[in-house]
């Protein structure tokens, strides 16, 4: 038996009524992983012994109604620090790195009583859209192993979609939660920048990175989000705001809600017809339930891909400077002096994509290019953000595709990411929240997702809209067959 169709809420009820124990759920997770992970490669590291020990302690303690996350297995993306448990960011550079403290979100999961079963695979240092650039091999899409699970949180998406675990944490810098969720028929939330602490997240792009849930249903995303939000003094970007009760707000409906469609994305030949049909259907469902649809304009959206490209490289350079082979991580054996130690450790320890971004980033931030490239991009970023804020004065939520196509095949990599960056990275550039929800299937039976974008700290409205669509459709009830033999 897998966790497919077992929501966090279902599992919570079963745990409270003692139909199952946390140890049984944890053993089940490792059993499904054992059967399916040779094919999927969703995990870099498993945490079996500690997980079973913790589950036994939780069972001994007992689980009260309302302790929603307690005793339930969860997976954590391997760029989020876990004390005493290998954390690699899927890089050779950190192949032996054992953190000496927990990320704040991990502390929170532990305090809530969740059982961390392991660390999921990603594109090296979260730089990619396929989870194919991992030093530990690619993760495969449970819907079709010839296709990517998306990236960079591909391991977190594959493990939930295949029913290995019921929920996972990912990180999203330019779409890295929402793309994989869309590619695997899951719900993924990129929260407002600063809502969830990034303390202990291995930085890719500090001004864009966020941590968020990947789950099977909108309700589960609300529950997991509730478990990880909150102000954190250890993250200076953390927002000190009152946290709403996400679960109780879910079923308020969408009557009276104004939904924005983006003028600049209409009749766009770079959005596949399957995806466009899913967006159109979502709008129809929302209208049937009393929402009204209004066209809005994001005139600078077409520059989002370029802005992201420049800022992403610049910030990558800065984030990656710490990996020098001295105090932690990979150290070369080939060196005669300090310069060689630095250069050879970094050149041998970092993959091609990461190196390329670092070097490109130096170019955009040094000399004259700092002005012509980096600052220019940062200025257009302001305009993209202003476009969103203006549009969100007219509408409550904006609906777009979560990705321009269904999951692509490993042998047909998506080289032009401009449209996908416009769809998702633009939201990171603006610091806003966005939710990806299952919305249909392609002719090849691959899942397709839509994205809801909202005002800062208005996750509630996104979850309400997502929930309304989910309850009126049955896409989320479909699961891939590669599931460990139900």
Size of the site for other proteins (CB under 8 A): 75
Per CB under 8 A, the list member of 110, 385, 410, 471 interacting with other proteins is 385
Rg for the chain, CA atoms, rounded: 21
Q: Nearest approach, Cβ of 210 to other proteins (angstroms)?
A: 8
Applying CB under 8 A, does 341 fall inside the site for other proteins? yes
- Name the one residue in this structure whose structure tokens are 């890295």: 176
**Could you confirm whether 302 is annotated as catalytic?**
no
Q: Nearest approach, Cβ of 114 to other proteins (angstroms)?
A: 24
* Alpha-carbon span 418 to 117, nearest angstrom: 35
Nearer to other proteins, 57 or 353 (CB): 353
- Residue tagged active-site, from 134, 152, 153, 156: 152
**Could you confirm whether 152 is annotated as catalytic?**
yes
Nearer to other proteins, 145 or 191 (CB): 191
Per CB under 8 A, the list member of 180, 200, 329, 438 interacting with other proteins is 329
Q: Which is it for the CA torsion 405, 406, 407, 408, positive or negative? A: negative
* Under 8 Å between Cβ of 262 and 390: no
Per CB under 8 A, the list member of 166, 325, 406, 454 interacting with other proteins is 325
From 289-297, 306-314, 405-413, 477-485, give the range in contact with other proteins by CB under 8 A. Answer: 306-314
DSSP-assigned letters across all residues of 78-132:
TTB-BTTB---TT-GGGTT---SS--HHHHHHHHTT-EEEEEE--SGGG--SSS-
Applying CB under 8 A, does 89 fall inside the site for other proteins? no
Nearest to 259 by CA among 452, 4, 108: 452
* Alpha-carbon span 450 to 452, nearest angstrom: 7
Applying CB under 8 A, does 417 fall inside the site for other proteins? no
> What residues between 98 and 127 interact with other proteins by CB under 8 A?
98, 100-101
* Alpha-carbon span 317 to 151, nearest angstrom: 20
Applying CB under 8 A, does 372 fall inside the site for other proteins? yes
* Alpha-carbon span 411 to 362, nearest angstrom: 31
Partners of 196 in the β-ladder: 229
Nearer to other proteins, 294 or 302 (CB): 302
> What residues between 192 and 231 interact with other proteins by CB under 8 A?
192-194, 206-209
> What residues between 437 and 456 interact with other proteins by CB under 8 A?
456
Applying CB under 8 A, does 389 fall inside the site for other proteins? no
Per CB under 8 A, the list member of 429, 435, 439, 469 interacting with other proteins is 429
Applying CB under 8 A, does 478 fall inside the site for other proteins? no
Per CB under 8 A, the list member of 43, 125, 183, 303 interacting with other proteins is 303
Nearest to 46 by CA among 183, 123, 159, 150: 159
* Alpha-carbon span 165 to 32, nearest angstrom: 8
DSSP-assigned letters across all residues of 367-395:
TTHIIIIIIHHHHHHHHHHHHHHHHHHH-
The secondary structure of 312-349, three-state, reads: HHHHHHHHHCCCCCCCCCCCCCCCCCHHHHHHHHHHHH
List all residues 6 or more positions away from 197 whose beta carbon is below 8 Å from its beta carbon: 103, 104, 105, 211, 228, 230, 231, 232, 234, 235, 238
* Under 8 Å between Cβ of 174 and 181: no
From 67-75, 243-251, 367-375, 458-466, give the range in contact with other proteins by CB under 8 A. Answer: 367-375
From 131-139, 309-317, 403-411, 438-446, give the range in contact with other proteins by CB under 8 A. Answer: 309-317
Applying CB under 8 A, does 343 fall inside the site for other proteins? yes
Applying CB under 8 A, does 174 fall inside the site for other proteins? no
Applying CB under 8 A, does 326 fall inside the site for other proteins? yes
- Residue tagged active-site, from 130, 162, 176, 197: 176
Nearer to other proteins, 74 or 320 (CB): 320
- Residue tagged active-site, from 54, 70, 77, 119: 77
Active site residues: 77, 152, 176
């Amino acid at each position: 038996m897998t966790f497919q169709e077992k929501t966090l809420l279902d599992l919570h009820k079963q745990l409270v009524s003692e139909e199952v124990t946390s140890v049984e759920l944890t053993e089940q997770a490792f059993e499904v992983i054992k059967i399916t992970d040779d094919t999927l490669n969703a995990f870099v590291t498993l945490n079996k012994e500690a997980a079973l020990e913790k589950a036994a302690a939780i069972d001994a303690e007992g689980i009260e109604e309302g302790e929603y996350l307690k005793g339930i297995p969860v997976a954590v993306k391997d760029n989020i620090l876990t004390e005493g448990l290998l954390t690699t960011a899927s890089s050779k550079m950190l192949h032996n790195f054992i953190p000496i403290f927990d990320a704040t979100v991990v502390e929170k999961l532990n305090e809530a009583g969740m059982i961390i079963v392991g660390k999921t695979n990603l594109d090296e240092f979260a730089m990619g859209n396929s989870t194919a650039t991992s030093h530990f091999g690619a993760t495969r899409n449970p819907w079709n192993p010839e296709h990517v699970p998306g990236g960079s949180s591909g391991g977190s998406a594959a493990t939930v979609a295949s029913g290995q675990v019921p929920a996972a944490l990912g990180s999203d810098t330019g779409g890295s939660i929402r793309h994989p969720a869309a590619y695997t028929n899951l719900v993924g939330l990129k929260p407002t920048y600063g809502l969830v602490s990034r303390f202990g997240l291995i930085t890719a792009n500090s001004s864009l990175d966020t941590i968020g849930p990947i789950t099977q249903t909108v309700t589960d995303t609300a529950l997991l989000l509730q478990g990880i939000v909150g102000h954190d003094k250890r993250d200076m970007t953390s927002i000190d705001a009152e946290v709403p009760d996400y679960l109780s707000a879910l079923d308020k409906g969408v009557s009276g809600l104004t939904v924005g469609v983006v003028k600049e994305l209409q009749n766009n030949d770079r959005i596949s017809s399957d995806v466009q049909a899913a967006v159109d259907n979502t709008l129809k469902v929302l209208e049937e339930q009393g929402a009204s649809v209004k066209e809005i304009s994001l005139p600078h959206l077409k520059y989002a891909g370029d802005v992201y490209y420049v800022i992403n490289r610049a910030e990558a350079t800065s984030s990656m400077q710490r990996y020098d082979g001295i105090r932690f991580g990979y150290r070369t054996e080939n060196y005669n002096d300090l310069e060689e130690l630095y250069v050879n450790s970094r050149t041998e320890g970092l993959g091609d994509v990461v190196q390329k971004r670092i070097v490109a980033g130096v170019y955009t931030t040094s000399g004259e290019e700092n002005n012509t490239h980096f600052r220019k991009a940062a200025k257009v970023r302001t305009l993209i953000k202003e476009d969103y804020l203006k549009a969100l004065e007219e509408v409550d939520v904006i609906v777009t595709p979560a990705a321009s196509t269904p999951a692509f095949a490993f042998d047909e990599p998506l080289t032009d990411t401009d449209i996908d960056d416009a769809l998702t990275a633009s939201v990171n550039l603006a610091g806003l929240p966005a939710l990806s929800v299952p919305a249909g299937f392609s002719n090849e039976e691959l899942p397709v997702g839509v994205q809801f974008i909202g005002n800062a700290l208005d996750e509630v409205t996104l979850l309400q809209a997502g929930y309304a669509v989910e309850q009126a459709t049955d896409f989320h009830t479909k699961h891939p067959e590669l599931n460990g033999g139900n």
